[in-house]
Amino acid sequence: MPVTVHFAAGPAAWREYHDHLPRALADAGVQAEILLTAPDPAAVDYIVFAPSGEIQDFSPYVNCKAVLNLWAGVERIIGNTTLTQPLARMVDPAMTESMVEWVVGHTLRHHLGMDLHILNQDGVWRNEITPPIARERPVAVLGLGALGRAAGEALAALNFPVMGWSRTPKNISGIDCHSGDAGLAAVLSRAEIVILLVPLTAGTENLMNAERLARLPKGAVILNPGRGPLIDDAALLAALDRGHLGHATLDVFRNEPLPKGHPFWTHPRVTVTPHIAASTRPLTASAVVAENIRRGEAGEPLLYLVDRARGY
């Protein structure tokens, strides 16, 4: 009997997945019927989900063995009380590569002071500033999961002294790992560039509040490819305006798309990128979904299960 997979991520996503997902399931040895609508929810074995899709109420899916999210972040689904099935988040190797590239690119922009030359081609020979080399520029990655660890390791490979911070203690070669409140305070007091890659949970909302922003060395730069509410926006703007922070490069926002009149759009020391740091890539993500369905059918533990109590 084929397994029934309800692709509930919406028609736009299906246009991107309709080639890849059937092939990935076949490659994984899974015989599957993929449905775009589920007239009989009780017949569904697996739901492929994205917050852009239509399912709000998971309770009719009484035989569903797992909900497989196409997004890495689960903050928009985890509070859904009708969702009692196991929930897996997306860890996609191509998404990880893309995040590493975004983080390294924006870190190097600020580290090298690239704007000085890119924005000032006015005939003036400005050679008085010699930027430090990477080994002289401490950076911090908050969150050492799939994305934060990969980004931290890439920065360490360029010789940046990388500090990392996570909920539980870690030991990662090339990264000076910290955890807990005292660990965060120590990391922030030294970091000239801070990268936010923790998930949005009750424990991380407004993580970068006025007090923690004030701990950063003067001129520090913040990169946020995590989630908008990790930063207290008013505190960020105040820290930029008084010159304590040098720049903020933000990929994610409390409201997306970022509303037209938002001060971030026009602030001289804010760069907005429109949530493009790391999209899920259908080719590689399909293989992850297929592998999880294969595991589910073989009675093996699913990959990347979300812990509801932790919130990620």
Catalytic residues: 227, 275
Residues 73, 86, 174, 217: which binds ligand NAP (CB under 6 A)? 73
- Mapping DSSP to helix (H, G, I), strand (E, B) and coil, where does residue 67 land? strand
277 is an interface residue for ligand NAP by CB under 6 A: yes
Of 73 and 174, nearer to ligand NAP (C-beta) is 73
227 is an interface residue for ligand NAP by CB under 6 A: yes
How many angstroms separate the CA atoms of 127 and 116, rounded?
10
Residues 138, 251, 282, 287: which binds ligand NAP (CB under 6 A)? 251
Only one of the segments 59-67, 77-85, 104-112, 223-231 lies at the binding site for ligand NAP (rule: CB under 6 A); that segment is 223-231
With contact defined as beta carbons under 8 Å apart, do 66 and 296 qualify? Answer: yes
Of 197 and 221, nearer to ligand NAP (C-beta) is 197
With contact defined as beta carbons under 8 Å apart, do 179 and 198 qualify? Answer: no
Largest CA distance in the chain: 73
User: Ramachandran region of residue 176, left (φ > 0), alpha (ψ -120 to 50) or beta?
Assistant: beta
Residue carrying the six token digits 């990620």: 312
Only one of the segments 144-152, 233-241, 260-268, 284-292 lies at the binding site for ligand NAP (rule: CB under 6 A); that segment is 144-152
Residue carrying the six token digits 């030359």: 117
CB of 140 to ligand NAP, least distance (A): 12
Structure tokens at 236: 């960020």
Residues 84, 201, 209, 271: which binds ligand NAP (CB under 6 A)? 201
296 is an interface residue for ligand NAP by CB under 6 A: no
How many angstroms separate the CA atoms of 105 and 277, rounded?
10
Binding site for ligand NAP (CB under 6 A): 72-73, 91, 95, 143-148, 165-168, 197-201, 203-204, 225-227, 251-252, 275, 277-278, 312
